[in-house]
Structure 1
Amino acid sequence: MTTIGSAAEVDRLGTVLGVWAHPDDEAYLSGGLMALARDRGARVVCVTATRGELGTEHPDVWPPDRLAAARTYELAHCLAILGVHEHHWLGHADGRCSAVPPAQAVARLCGIIECVRPDTVLTFGPDGITGHPDHRTVSAWTTAAFEQAAPPGARLLYATFAERRAARWAPLNERLGIFPPGLPVLTPERLLAVDVELDAGTADRKVRALAAQRTQTAELMAFVGLERFTAWVGDESFVDAAASGVAATAGAHAAWAAADAAGSTRARAAAETATTSRATAGAAHHDSEEPTTTAAST
């Protein structure tokens, strides 16, 4: 494993574009990476598909319009803490991304990619981390837009969980009920394109950014405890979409879409297998082309 916490490796990210489904996705999955890139003077642009107006267990207190307004403010505060000053809303309804005509959504993202000309694009993998339909749909949109509009040499990176995290955090993840059976998909370290272990200062900044989204994190942080929460969100991992090839990635997206349509356990298991196969297919590429890249922020 190569430790690349150097400024040069952060610089390799170049201009970063993150495409996510809801406010807080960007901070949980890439808050540290965005902060490190901004500290090095890189351009970082964030895109959010929805305002997350359904993201509450207390709809009587937070009706959709009120929650959308609160989360809009919270995301602005979160991004300011991370040093990110460029943001785009796609304006889609929470929980309804799959109802948006794909060509329309992809065309919008193509326009953003053509304008930003990113060197690195961050988004969900086909599994959507938690399996949320909006996450998976945004992954499919972003992948299609990247293939159509990304500049030469750009990288598309999918957020994932490093396999090494499984044992440590499985009890907490199970208690919180964030992940359905079979998720998150775990990736062996040798297949990771970027693996960021946050230093104390960057981890603290990420936690402050998440705390700014208090409608989503206040109860969770109080339940978990600050120290444990900081460790829980203290690393970020990504796989290179190109490592497993376009066909394998498209197959994983299609499998998850079929699982949504079928609504069956068997279809869901097939989707999980397709996603795991996509990640495993990248092993030969990583082994022959380039060693696993691990970034420990400094």
Structure 2
Amino acid sequence: MFAVVVAHPDDEAFSWAGTVALHTEDAGFRFVLVHATRGEAGDIRPGFPATRDTLGAIRQAESEAAWRAVGRPPDRHEWLDYPDGGLSEVPADELTARIAEILAEEKPVVVAGFGPDGITGHPDHITVGACTDAAFALARGAGPGFRRLLHHVLPQSVFDRWQHQRRALNLPVFDPTEVYHGRGVPDDKVHLVVDCRTVAPRIVAGILEHRSQLHVMADDPVDEQRLARIVSREWATLVWPPPTGPHPPLTDVFDGL
């Protein structure tokens, strides 16, 4: 069983959709997805048919449509309904307990969330990531499962390559000191590299369902071939059990379990 905990609808679109797609046909595979918010504070581009009151429901529907496009909707999809942009103001013990309750019920073999960089420095990402780590530690005593905890990351070498490509294409580059901009982690901290090339079209199909935020998620106009190359790998840091030394990267979230 695989559990993913994120802050907003679409957070998982670039992180774990490939892993889920790769395991679509596996007997016994169970996928649990937890969203802390409905993303109601997201950007509303001019002309898009949404209001501040309706955006959360629209983004929830987009998330559900995206997983249908990927071809593997979650077996359990929980919406915690905390305020988008306000997770850092939620008592950490409360958010941790809500996540831990779900994990204790499901007893996933692998849990995945955000690390301390939040990929983009987003405070909601950082908060839900820290609370997921704490929930994993709490729930480990609930019985079998809980064999691995992962943080989705972007290797620094990949980040640098993307920056170079963006400059070559006259696209805006990221500033890793700014919130909402991507950032990398040292390559030696990357313990999982998943080859998602065979399912990249399905990942892209899912991303395209996030219509309200597509202008934030991808460059305009959307280049689907380039997007497929971007999502052709998934990377993660192994948090639990702690790495014991240099080893070849894992190639699947369940490797060795």
Pick the TM interval, shorter chain: 0.7 to 0.9
Letter in 2 for 1:48: H
Unaligned runs of 5+ in 1: 1-14, 245-281
Per-residue CA deviations over 1:119-149 (Å, capped at 9, x if unaligned) read: 0001111110000000000001100000010
How far did residue 198 of structure 1 move?
1.3
How far did residue 218 of structure 1 move?
5.3
Residue in 2 that maps onto 1:168: 161
What secondary structure sits across from 2:13 in the alignment? Answer: helix
Does the aligned pair in 1 maintain the 2:120–2:183 contact within 8 Å?
yes
Counterparts of 1:99 and 1:162, CA distance in 2? 30
TM-score norm. by structure 1 comes to 0.73
Residue in 2 that maps onto 1:35: 21
Does residue 98 (structure 1) correspond to residue 88 (structure 2)? The answer is yes
Counterparts of 1:59 and 1:225, CA distance in 2? 21
TM-score norm. by structure 2 comes to 0.84
RMSD: 2.4
After the TM superposition, which residues 1-298 of structure 1 pair with which residues of structure 2 at under 5 Å, given as runs? 15-41=1-27, 42-58=29-45, 61=48, 62-82=50-70, 83-85=72-74, 86-150=76-140, 151=144, 153-171=146-164, 175-176=171-172, 180-181=176-177, 184-188=183-187, 190-200=188-198, 202-217=199-214, 220=218, 222-242=220-240, 285-287=244-246, 290-295=247-252
Letter in 1 for 2:84: D
How far did residue 164 of structure 1 move?
3.4
Per-residue CA deviations over 1:143-167 (Å, capped at 9, x if unaligned) read: 0000010345521100011233133
Counterparts of 1:72 and 1:184, CA distance in 2? 27
Aligned-pair identity (%): 33
Counterparts of 1:180 and 1:153, CA distance in 2? 32
Per-residue CA deviations over 1:202-241 (Å, capped at 9, x if unaligned) read: 0000000111111112573543511112112221101111
- Paired residues in the alignment total 239
Larger helix share, 1 or 2: 1
Does the aligned pair in 1 maintain the 2:153–2:185 contact within 8 Å?
yes
Does the aligned pair in 1 maintain the 2:153–2:235 contact within 8 Å?
yes
Does the aligned pair in 2 maintain the 1:45–1:84 contact within 8 Å?
no
Counterparts of 1:99 and 1:178, CA distance in 2? 27
Unaligned runs of 5+ in 2: 253-257
Does the aligned pair in 2 maintain the 1:159–1:239 contact within 8 Å?
yes
Counterparts of 1:133 and 1:234, CA distance in 2? 27
- 48 and 153 in structure 1: CA distance in 2 versus 1, 3 angstrom threshold: closer
Does the aligned pair in 2 maintain the 1:78–1:212 contact within 8 Å?
yes
Does the aligned pair in 2 maintain the 1:38–1:44 contact within 8 Å?
no
How far did residue 50 of structure 1 move?
0.8
Letter in 2 for 1:21: A
